[in-house]
Every structure is written in structure tokens, then in C-alpha cells.
Structure 1
Amino acid sequence: MIREGPTITRIPVDERRSRLVAAAFRVVAQDGVEAATTRKICAAAGVSLASFHYVFESRDALLEALVVAGLTSEDTAVHAVLGAPTPDGAGPADIEGVLRGGLLGYLDSVVADPAREQALLALAHYARRTPGLDSFAAQMYTRYYDLAAQALGAAAEVTGVRWRTAPRTLAPLVVASTDGLTLAYLTTGDLVVARQIVDACVAMLLTHIEAA
């Protein structure tokens, strides 16, 4: 049994939550969702089962927190690049550069934390084949589409261009591309192939920009 000493019990709730989420990412990525029991996650986080139930109502609540944390991280990575200034400080120069920068920012986040992406993929597959959780996977992808549409809108805004096709319509194509590069990188570790997927996605998106 895992016991918490005096120091652990004084850890703030937010920090306990962060520990449990980080541990759950590692366990799900390594062993799969089915094997990610609350006991195993608590052991990886170094907290007690009682502490787990103080922070999360259930295992499903923790799984939902994993999805939210993963989406937030990806959103931050993409938008940080979209808003990044060019070396001369003049701001992003053109839509092609901004789109490529945003997608490469996403790729960088995958490379930096592959366990997170592996866990999110495992969660989506698990939810799809689990009665009662099938809507969970659909909700994940709805959120992915929302993030992609927001990123495309932000890219147009910072570069002053207009989309010929609505960002909401283009969003699933972007998500299909990011899914592809994620799977390619996680399976092979080949950054060259992942960057080729980025280039192909950018080239496709450029055909949907209104002519000046």
C-alpha cells in the first residue's frame, strides 16, 4: 500500500492533480488505457489512492483531464508559433511561413513529449470501442477541429489574407495531416517524413487562399 508521509499530505491539490495527470500519461502511453488502473497511476505519481479520490471523482474524470491537458498543450504550441515575430521584429511575413511554422510547432511538441501523443491516441481508440464512452472519442475530434479552425483563423488574421474556403471546412484536413505526421513520427521516429507531411499540408492549404 502506498502511504503519504507528512510532506506529501501538504502538497497542494493542484500539484497533486498535475502529478496524477503526468503519471497517467506515462502509464497509458506505456501500458495502454485498460492497464492504467488508479492504483498503478497512483504508484507512478507517488500518491495514495485516498489522495486520488480527493482530486478526481473517478478514473474517467482523470482520463478526461488527460485529453484536456493534451489539447491545451497542442493549442499552446501551435498558437505560440503563429504569434511569434520574425527575426527582424516585423511579425510573421506571409501566410505560407505562418502555416508552416504552426505545423512545425505542433511537430516539435510531439517530438518533445511523444508519451502525451501516444496516450491521446490510446484514449481515442479505447473510447471508440468501449460502450458508453464512444461519444468521448467524437468529442475529442470535435475539439481538434475547433483548435484547427481557430489556428487557421489566427493565421489569416496575422497575415492579412482571406480564406477562400472556410476554416471550419479546412479543419478536418489539417487534423488528418497532424494525425498522419503524429503516427509517422511515433512509429518510425523519422522527422524527414513528418516534415514532408507538413509541406504537403501547407501546399494544400495555400490553394484555399483568396488571390490578392
Structure 2
Amino acid sequence: MPRLSADDRREQLVEAAIRVMIRDGVARTTTRAVVAEAEVPLGAFHYCFRSKEELLQSVTERIMERTLTPPREVPEGTTPYEAIRANLHVYWDRVRSRPDEHQVTYELTQYALRQPGLAEAARRQYGHYLATSTDYLDSMARVLGIRWTITLPVLARYGMSALDGLTLTWLVDRDDEAATAALDEFARYLASVATPMDSAEGTGRRAAGR
């Protein structure tokens, strides 16, 4: 077996943990089960992670990385609503392609809140969601040449709550038509709080981003 770097070993263990959590549930996932799935010795886990909490955080981050990809540019002449909707649908397609992983994220939250000493893991989980949501909306504004009329921290929390609720509801009822309609309504809301970035502002932001 080739010798892996610490980063590659962490990657291996995170992916193994996700598979075990999908198969057995978060509460029944142990470090021994994870290393058995990864086919590595127990010592490899302690070399890569300081605690099970750190592994849970890494699992959360990995699932989010796969789902919330950077916003995409859209053809010139596309309306703000159409552009925002197109980017939200990229997100939604990724949710629908990996439903088991998203179910795991909700299990992780409840598990952490119920375990003594793991409540911080849940706070870190949603702190990561909020930071990711903030970065995504900020990137979307730059890519689409718009600015938000609502302060970014408030909009990010609102958006995170909307998508979180939409995802959980869909995991329960798997109603694609209703979910798409709700997602499109959220896109309309975002378009209503977006305004075109004026040319001077846009030039300054592009220069700052070089």
C-alpha cells in the first residue's frame, strides 16, 4: 500500500466517515468503524484528527464543498432573476444528486446537540454554513455585477435558513415540483433585493480583486 501524506490520509478518513454515517447513521459511527472502512490502522485516525469533533467538522465542510460551488457567469443580457435562479439550480441539482449526504448533515446537528461536550460542534457546523453562505452571496454579486440592498450578514442568514428548510423538507417528501417552485420563489426574492452595480463601483471592485 503506498504511503499517503497527512492531507491525503485525512481525505481518505473523511470520505470513509461519510460512507459509514450514510450506512449506519451518525450515532452509530465510531472511530473504529471509520478506520475499518478506510482500511487503515486506528493510529492513523489519531495522527490526522485530534478528536471525533474535528472529524465531524471536516465531514460537514466536505459535504458543503461538494454542494455550494462558486457562482457561474451567465450570458450577457440575462436578467438578475434568471442569473440568480440559474446559480441556485446548480446548488439544488447537487443536493438532489447526494440526498444521503445531506441527511447526514441534519443527523450531525442533532447528534452533536444531544452529546455532552459536542454542542460546540453544532455551533461550528452552522457557523461554517453561515460563512459559506456569506461568501457565496458576495461572490454571486461580483460575478453578476449586482449589489445587495440588504446587509450581507442578514441576507446570508436569511438565505441559509431558506435553503436549509427547503432541503430538509425535500428530504422528507421528495416533492421535486414543489421544491423547484419554492427555490424559484427564493430566486425572485433575491432578485428583488439586488440592484445593478454602477460602472464606477464595478471597476473599483474588479481592480481590488486583481
Give TM-score, length-normalised by structure 1.
0.81
- Structure 2 distance, partners of 1:58, 1:128, is 17
Name the SS of the counterpart of 1:162 in structure 2. Answer: strand
The aligned counterpart of 1:157 is 142
Instruction: Output the CA distance in 2 between the equivalents of 1:160 and 1:14.
Output: 36
**Does the 8 Å contact 1:93/1:159 carry over to 2?**
no
2:55 corresponds to 1:62: yes
Shift of the alpha carbon at 1:85? 4.2
User: 1:19, CA displacement in angstroms?
Assistant: 2.0
List aligned pairs for 1:11-30, cutoff 5 A: 11-30=4-23
**Per-residue deviation, residues 101-129 of structure 1 (Å, max 9, x unmatched):** 22211112212222321221111111222
In the alignment, the residues of structure 1 paired with residue 116 and residue 35 of structure 2 have an alpha-carbon distance, to the nearest angstrom, of 26
Letter in 1 for 2:72: G
2:172 to 187, 197, 200: 187
Whole-angstrom CA distance in 1 between matches of 2:45 and 2:123: 27
Q: Residue 147 of structure 1 aligns with which residue?
A: 132
* Residue among 30, 33, 36 paired with 2:29: 36
> 2:206 maps to which residue?
none
> What are the ranges of 5 or more consecutive residues in structure 2 without an aligned counterpart?
198-210
Q: Which has the higher contact order (CA 8 A, sep 6+)?
A: 2
Aligned pairs, number: 197
Correspondence 1:72 to 2:71: no
Which whole-Å CA distance do the structure 2 matches of 1:131 and 1:98 have between them?
44
CA contact (8 A) 1:128 1:137 kept: yes
Contact 1:98–1:155, Cα closer than 8 Å, also in 2? no
Distance 1:211 1:45 in 2: 49
1:53 maps to 46
Shift in Å at residue 168 of structure 1? 1.6
State whether residues 33 and 126 of structure 1, in contact with CA within 8 Å, keep that contact through their aligned partners in structure 2: yes
What secondary structure sits across from 2:105 in the alignment? helix
2:34 alignment partner AA: I
Query: What do residues 146-199 of structure 1 show as CA deviations (whole Å, max 9, x unaligned)?
Result: 222222222222233332211221112211221122213322333222212211
Gaps of 5+ in 1: 1-6
Q: Percent identity?
A: 31
Q: What is the RMSD of the two structures over their aligned residues, measured on CA atoms?
A: 2.3
Residue 121 of structure 2 corresponds to 136
After the TM superposition, which of the residue ranges 30-39 and 130-139 deviates more from structure 2? 130-139
8 A contact 2:13–2:35 mirrored in 1: yes
Equivalent in the alignment of 1:98: 83
